[in-house]
Amino acid sequence: MAAWLAGTSSELARRAARRLACELRRRGPGPWFLSLSTVPALGQPTGDRRGFCSVRRFAAAATSDESEGEFARGDPQVVDFPGGKLSFVGEMNFVPESQRERIKCYRVLDDDGGTIYSSIFKEVGKELALKMYSNMVTLQIMDTIFYEAQRQGRISFYLTSNGEEAINIASAAALSADDIVLPQYREPGVLLWRGFTLQEFANQLFGNKMDYGKGRQMPIHYGSNRLNYFTVSSPIATQLPQAVGAAYSLKMDKKYACTITYFGDGGTSEGDFHAALNFAAVTESPVIFFCRNNGWAISTPTTEQFRSDGVVTRGQAYGIRSIRVDGNDTLAVYSAVHAAREMAITEGRPILIEAMTYRVGHHSTSDDSTKYRPADEIEHWQTARDPISRYRKWVQGNGWWCDAEETELRNNVRRELLQAIQMAERIPKHGLAELFNDVYDRVPSNLREQQRSLLDTIQKHPSDYPTDVPV
């Protein structure tokens, strides 16, 4: 039977090729446009038009009725390669390196906080709107105070989300608590929205005994199993293929949930970005790829990262539905992520979101961004394009907020943060033994030797080691 099928398939292919050659000679010079109908694979029922192709591979423009009619007529132009259905043209046309027009950016609020006429967005009620705003303000104050604490030498490192508060809070608000988050490192607002307290943030930064990572991670490498928030990992873009795997597991378990993974424009230059998008598209996993295109990968501008029209165009290359959104527009981000989540779960597909924004702060406390970008540019985005001020205008325009409430909110958050820092400083730190635990069931001999060597070194040079770390 197998031999007969193989022979029959080869003969059909030769006949189709001869008919195609005759038809093209009859039509004369191109271009020629072939039918988009599909030839069924041998052994399949004729009602199934998928052939060798995925059901989602480059959807045909023709209707199913038209496809049926063309197939019934035995159209000689029907050609279906294992790589997909194709039409032919007589001219040699190379696909251009970019589209003639840049992909437009979805926006709801103008710079004055007013909704743009005819804009389509997910309605936000008073309670949700105020919670989003208060979290954005809290994130801003948290960044300011923790940044100052690092400058005072109280913590070793910090990284802010200044200018990207809308991305953090609005995207988090559009998700469910069951959705799994795989962050980069500039998304503490997502964790804040989910219920991570200011005290928990402080405990991680100071690496005390209440830190869930037991002081082993760098500051700002938060994580919470309780809140479905994977621990931050320093290597860039490694979380992307992991997010696809997690999403695929949700799909296999038939969970009404998705994963979302965040990354910057610099992360798209990593191989893991491309592998993850292709992996997600092929497995049709419910994952949201959220790119914070803030213009800078530390000191490398986007002009030196890629020549394409940003990041959104790359989704189409991998067969992924994509959207570009104003990352400083709280309502636009919320609406886009809300819609993306619904599509990802109900349709079983990955979604790519490119949020256009600007990193107002330095990359981290180890960076001075004024060395590679003008100070007036930073000032412009910090004032004229600030996402918090813009969203506040919309909230106040609805009669939901006033200056007295603003003052009270900021004072309360600042007071709570200072108390959290004082408490975190008083909590003892883990002992050195924790450096060697939680990896192996039985600590191997090489690690025991390292531990003995470390203790000997501390005894010889006690002044070189912190006194608040128990030996």
Active site residues: 148, 234, 363-364
| Sequence-ordered list of residues with C-beta below 8 angstroms from that of 432, at least 6 positions apart, any chain | 451, 454, 455, 458, 469, 470, 471
| Sequence-ordered list of residues with C-beta below 8 angstroms from that of 254, at least 6 positions apart, any chain | none
Upper half-sphere CA count for residue 356 (Cβ side, 13 Å): 14
Query: What is the amino acid identity at position 201?
Result: F
How many CB atoms neighbour CB 137 within 10 A? 19
- Comparing C-alpha atoms, which of 278, 290, 295 is closest to residue 333? 290
348 in the Ramachandran plot: left (φ > 0), alpha (ψ -120 to 50) or beta? left
Only one residue has tokens 């039509």, namely: 27
Q: Which two tokens stand for residue 20?
A: 């195609």
The three-class DSSP label of residue 108 is coil
Packing angle of the helix pair 403-426, 126-151 (nearest 10 deg): 50
Q: Which two tokens stand for residue 120?
A: 């389509």
Only one residue has tokens 């709280």, namely: 330
